[in-house]
Homo-oligomer: A and B are copies of this chain.
Amino acid sequence: MTIGSSLPDLLGIRLPIIQAPMAGVSSPAMAAAVSKAGALGSIGVGATDAAGARAMIAEVRARSAGPLNVNVFAHRPPIADPATEAAWIAKLSPDFKALDTAPPGQLTEIYRSFVEDDDMLALLIEQRPSVVSFHFGLPDEAAVRALRDAGIVLLASATSLTEARAISAAGIHAVVAQGWEAGGHRGTFDPDAPDDRIGTMALTRLLVRELDLPVIAAGGIMDGAGIAAALMLGAAAAQLGTAFIASDESLADKGYRAALTSDAANHTIMTRVISGRPARSLANRFTALGLDIPPRDVPAYPIAYDLGKALHVAGKTRGEFGYGAQWAGQGAPLARAMPAARLVQTLGAELEQALGAGRQTGGRRDKS
């Protein structure tokens, strides 16, 4: 396992494609299908504990002997702020009331950050998935060393050159360049710091030029042409999330799938009102609430998410899906509903075709 060797070789995959970990959307069945098809399957365990993660890993392994990426949330643990939380509950109360429900009386920290979850660290070292990836930041030096010493390849998300440099300095094997167009939670280390909102194209190129470690492009990539573009930018692989939301193995509910395959897919928005951290969702009733709300009014992640999930449940039981966390990137209109394995095969064939077309015409193509 040498840095500088081909990243696909390092990850044990035939295709330079990573199915993005999407807590609540990706599933063990999806990860297994993707890995068996030659790409890297991923599960997100940030929304569960070590026992839940153990069960998910076992489920993947029962289905596939292929490589597996286990993603954890390494956010700065929130500091509870009862006044902000009470005001936030009051602010969203009319929406609960319109659904004939009462909001919860108080909010809790529904997920434990990996940076203080020793059980999760121990589980990963015991289970040794081939890859572990970090989102929202990095764990401490000892945790990184322990995972590396266990033979696990480490990835981490960066939304800026500054974050990417921190990732490189921490001894992570490769960096995921998450562009502004990416769906779901933005991996920003400090959600309250100014954000330059750099798109995938510029961020990938910048990181490839400035860093010595392999770069994985993420955000707005939906098909083989997009993967080929990422490779041209110097990325070692592409990570696709939204492309897999409509796949058979996805946990996306009916309302989410319906929105994704409708005109709604043309409108995504970055908002922190759903969870407390900036994340890109299909524009819906919930994101509309956030248009005029200053960031400081929203409780910290994941405390705000406790209320967001309650509101979604309240809506869903009455057939109102517009309060869901319908995470999606800007490429959403290009999502395809099919089994995950077939999607991977399709992406591989499209990638070959795109690279071949580039070869034949030397850049004089008009349309693909």
Contact = CB atoms under 8 A, between A and B. Distances in A.
Interface string A331-364: 1011000000000000000011011001100111
B199 A330 contact: yes
A4 interface: yes
A179 interface: yes
A198 interface: yes
Interface string A39-57: 0000000000000000000
Contacts of A368: 208, 234
Interface in A195-248: 196-203, 205-206, 208-209, 214, 219-223, 225-234, 236
B214 A366 contact: yes
A166 to B, nearest CB: 15
Q: Please state the number of chain copies in the assembly.
A: 2
A23 interface: no
B358 A228 contact: yes
Most B CB within 10 A of own CB, among A209, A229, A366: A366
A330 B198 contact: yes
A78 to B, nearest CB: 25
Most B CB within 10 A of own CB, among A6, A160, A199, A223: A199
Contacts of A330: 196, 198-199, 202-203
A26 B3 CA distance: 43
